[in-house]
């Protein structure tokens, strides 16, 4: 059995394509439960902030801590046998994000709670879009664009109901996006 | 390598190996996802996986999740090595011609 040059080149292309498809599908599979989790957190957080604004800080603190804890749990549950690399990456990402927002809000203090409620989702939308561009995950790019655009639209066009908008549309988009990523 | 590895040489099996190699070591891939990635039918994929399993290149794990059967696959250490060797063999052919 001999392999010609063109057969070898064709096989190498096929190897590349399959690896790329597999890596993208793997990324979707890993991200899916996290998106669904944070979608529910947005639903609860934004709607509570709308109906009980006085409990805003406490509710978000509790929800973010809950989300981080659940994120670690999901990471461990879905990690490959013997792999714990997910843990430090998640911890480092949380720390980097926290430091970014501390710096951002110190340099440019927000004038209203709505600004905080809009800028954080826009930041995460940007992360999805950039991650998708670099990793070749078109669904991440679309999700980032959708959540970012919906956040901006809600902030400017439905300002009085922005928090409800983010609970229903923003949280809903994350949950739907998470479910969509599972369908690979 | 003088001759191609016949277990991997077949196009569907090469795609299976490539798809599994793209995952972190010891990560399992569900049969249904692998089927979508490869673009193969159930029967076709099952038959090729059986060949790769016989060669010791993949490990097939079957269990139940919420009473539904689940089949997951991953590359063995020998499978990773064999795939790397096969890709090196293909590259060598392309480089020699170029």
Q: What average pLDDT does the structure give for chain B?
A: 92
How many Å lie between the alpha carbon of B92 and the closest alpha carbon of chain A?
9
Residues of A whose CB is below 8 A from B36: 25, 184
pLDDT, position A82 = 59
Chain A residues touching residue B33 (CB < 8 angstroms): 25, 29, 184
Closest CA to B26 of A25, A57, A143, A82: A82
Which residues of A are less than 8 Å from B11 in CB distance?
Answer: 11, 14
Residues of chain A where predicted confidence (pLDDT) is lower than 70 = 1, 80-86
Nearest partner of A11 among B12, B56, B6, judged by Cα: B12
Find the residue in B nearest to A8 (Cα): B90
- What tens digit of pLDDT does each residue of B24-41 get? 888 899 999 999 999 999
Predicted confidence band of residue B3 (pLDDT cuts 50, 70, 90): confident
Say what the ipTM of the complex is.
0.90
pLDDT band at B2 (very low <50, low <70, confident <90, very high): low
pLDDT value of position A85: 62
What strand order describes the sheet that includes B58-65? B29-30, B68-75, B58-65
Of A14, A23, A82, the CB nearest to B26: A82
CA B40/CA B35 separation, integer angstroms:
5
Higher pLDDT: B21 or A89? It is B21
* pLDDT recorded at residue B98: 67
Q: Whole-angstrom distance between the N-terminal and C-terminal Cα of chain A?
A: 36
User: pLDDT of A91-138, one tens digit each?
Assistant: 888 899 999 999 999 999 999 999 999 999 999 999 999 999 998 889
β pairing state of B68-75 and B29-30: antiparallel
**Helix, strand, coil proportions of chain B in percent (round to 5)?**
60, 20, 25
């Amino acid at each position: 059995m001999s392999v010609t040059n063109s057969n070898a080149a064709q096989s190498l292309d096929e190897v590349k394509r399959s690896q790329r498809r597999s890596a993208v599908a793997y990324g979707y599979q890993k991200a899916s439960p996290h998106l669904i989790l944070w979608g529910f957190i947005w639903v609860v957080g934004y709607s509570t902030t709308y109906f009980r604004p006085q409990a805003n800080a406490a509710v978000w603190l509790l929800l973010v801590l809950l989300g981080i804890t659940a994120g670690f749990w999901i990471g461990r549950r879905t990690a490959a046998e013997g792999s714990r690399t997910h843990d430090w990456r998640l911890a480092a990402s949380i720390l980097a994000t926290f430091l970014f927002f501390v710096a951002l809000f110190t340099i440019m203090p927000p004038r209203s709670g709505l600004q905080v409620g809009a800028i954080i989702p826009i930041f995460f939308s940007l992360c999805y879009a950039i991650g998708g561009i670099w990793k070749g995950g078109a669904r991440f790019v679309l999700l980032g664009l959708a959540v970012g655009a919906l956040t901006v639209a809600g902030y400017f066009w439905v300002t009085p109901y922005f928090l409800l908008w983010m609970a229903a549309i923003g949280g809903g988009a994350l949950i739907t996006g998470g479910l969509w990523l599972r369908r690979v | 390598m003088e001759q191609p590895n016949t277990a991997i040489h077949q196009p569907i099996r090469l795609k299976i190996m490539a798809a599994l190699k793209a995952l972190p070591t010891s990560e399992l891939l569900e049969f249904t996802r692998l089927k979508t990635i490869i673009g193969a039918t159930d029967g076709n994929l099952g038959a090729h996986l059986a060949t790769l399993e016989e060669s010791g290149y993949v490990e097939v794990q079957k269990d139940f999740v919420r009473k539904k059967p689940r089949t997951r696959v991953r590359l063995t250490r020998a499978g990773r090595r064999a795939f790397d060797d096969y890709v090196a063999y293909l590259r060598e052919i392309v480089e020699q011609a170029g």
